[in-house]
Structures are given as C-alpha cells and as structure tokens.
Amino acid sequence: MRIPKQMFGPLGLAAGLLALALTLLPPWIEDYRRPPPKPVARAVLDTIGSLKDRVVGAFSSEAPPAPAPPALEVVQTRSAFVALLAGFAALVFGIIAFVRREDARLTAVSIALGAGAIAAQHTLTAALIVGFAILTTWVLARHA
C-alpha cells in the first residue's frame, strides 16, 4: 500500500489548528463557566465565618480540612495537556512532511501552528521552538 504524496502536511495543519484552538480558547470560555460573584454583604459574612472557624480550630488544635481543587483547574489542565500533545503532533507531522518533500507552505504552516500552540503555554519551550522554526525556515528557503 502506497502513502499518498500529500498526507502528512494536511494532518499537521489539522493538528496545529486543534492545538492552537485548545490553547487560546479556554481562558475566554473560563469566564462563562464561573458562577456570578457574591454580593458584598455575603462575601463579608463568609470571610468573617471562615476567620471564626480558623480561630476556633487554632484553639482546639484540630487540623483544618484541605480545600478541594476547583473543577475549572482540572478542565484547564486537561485542555493544556491535549493542546501540547496536538502541538507536538503538528510538529512531528510537519517534520515528516518536510522529509518526504511535501508542499513547503503546508509544512511550514503545520510547524508554525504547532510551535505557536506550545509557545503560547510555555516560555522556555517557546525559545527552543522559535529557534527550530528559524532553522526550518532557513532550510526551506535554501531548498525551495
């Protein structure tokens, strides 16, 4: 069975678009998932109640219960992990497309989208990926 000539470039483009969407959209969606803020009077009463519980807990030498992590953090962590995987997949598909000498534009776009999705999350990784993207651009410009 023969692999089609233009296969890895479009796969890299799709993975890069997915990664970029998963990287950029969760902060915007997060505001809609949060409950509305409490009225000021209720917030003050809750703060006073928690302070009272801490003082009573300090004198009775009981350990305070650990707060449960918010559900939003779990969703953000999973979204970030899937975005990283899709970004790395776009980079790998772009590299494979480059090695197979597929369309240079599609290869460059899939590498740029994957690198952009990763770079939007991690700064140190971004520096390495920008260097890799510059090297890839230089190689593509020499061989085009």
- Rounded to two decimals, the pTM is 0.61
CA 79 to centroid of chain Cα atoms: 6
Alpha helices, H only, the chain: 8-24, 26-33, 40-60, 71-99, 104-119, 123-143
Sign of the CA dihedral 138, 139, 143, 144?
A: negative
Give per-residue pLDDT as tens, 31-50.
Answer: 666 777 778 888 888 888 88
Query: What are the residue boundaries of the structural domains of the chain, listed by start?
Result: 8-143
Mean pLDDT of 104-124: 84
Sign of the CA dihedral 50, 54, 55, 57?
A: positive
